[in-house]
């Protein structure tokens, strides 16, 4: 039987080696530091346009062609866009393509649109209360990420009025026509 040898005799308590305890302490600290989730996920609020089957056509808000910008979200995170609401198939708008990126992307398109609307107001074409309105129409090939990125761009560029609306067959034709005109 081993006997514990107490050093120092009656003078005081035995000295304990603290190193393993400190090691363990730091090990646990490391563990908790890695498992802690400091940044909580955030919530992005969204207000969808009011939709009711009983709503009459003439009750709906009319958007002026000059103030509207339509974004068509499509496959491979592409964004097709054109000015106006594109309700006239016989007079197709100039559909262009852009992507979600910081430079030369969707953001510049939105900033330019805001400038254009400001100019039209100062020229007296639009009234002072008119604002840039963005219609977001995701097609079947787009993803949730595209939708959220598009909505986030609205917040980033302080677009006051925007709405997510269903894509129309006319818009789908615009996408097809643009794709056909620009084979990759």
Quick one: which segment of 83-91, 116-124, 139-147, 170-178 binds other proteins (CB under 8 A)? 139-147
Is residue 109 a contact point for other proteins (CB under 8 A)? Answer: no
Q: Are the C-beta atoms of residues 153 and 107 closer than 8 Å to each other?
A: yes
Residues of span 10-39 touching other proteins by CB under 8 A = 18-19, 21-22, 25-26, 28-29, 32-33, 35-39
Q: Would strands 133-138 and 68-73 be described as parallel, antiparallel, or unpaired?
A: parallel
- Nearest CA-CA partner of 166 in 133, 132, 134, 139: 139
Name the minimum Å distance from CB 113 to other proteins.
Answer: 12
Phi, psi of 10 (to 5 degrees): -80, -10
Nearest to 70 by CA among 79, 62, 78, 61: 79
CB of 88 to other proteins, least distance (A): 25
3-state secondary structure of 148: helix
Q: What is the C-alpha to C-alpha distance for residues 182 and 179, in angstroms, rounded to an integer? A: 5
Nearer to other proteins (CB atom), residue 60 or residue 65: 60
Answer yes or no whether residue 55 interacts with other proteins by CB under 8 A.
no
Torsion 107-109-114-118 (CA) sign = positive
Q: Does 104 bind other proteins (CB under 8 A)?
A: no
Count, residues near other proteins per rule CB under 8 A = 49
Q: Binding segment for other proteins among 6-14, 45-53, 63-71, 174-182 (CB under 8 A)?
A: 45-53
Residues that bind other proteins (CB under 8 A): 18-19, 21-22, 25-26, 28-29, 32-33, 35-51, 73, 102, 107, 138-149, 151-152, 155-158, 164
């Amino acid at each position: 039987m081993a006997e514990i040898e107490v050093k120092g005799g009656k003078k005081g308590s035995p000295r304990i080696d603290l190193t393993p305890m400190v090691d363990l302490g730091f090990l646990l600290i490391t563990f908790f530091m890695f498992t802690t989730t400091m940044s909580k996920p955030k919530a992005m609020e969204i207000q969808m346009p009011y939709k009711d089957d009983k709503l009459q056509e003439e009750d709906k808000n009319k958007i002026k062609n000059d103030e509207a910008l339509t974004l068509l979200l499509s496959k491979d995170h592409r964004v097709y866009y054109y000015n106006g609401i594109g309700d006239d198939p016989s007079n197709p708008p100039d559909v262009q393509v852009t992507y979600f990126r910081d430079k030369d992307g969707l953001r510049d398109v939105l900033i330019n649109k805001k400038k254009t609307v400001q100019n039209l107001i100062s020229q007296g074409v639009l009234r002072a209360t008119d604002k840039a309105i963005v219609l977001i129409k995701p097609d079947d090939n787009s993803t949730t990420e595209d939708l959220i990125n598009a909505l986030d761009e609205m917040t980033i560029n302080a677009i006051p009025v925007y709405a997510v609306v269903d894509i129309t067959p006319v818009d789908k034709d615009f996408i097809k026509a643009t794709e056909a005109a620009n084979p990759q």
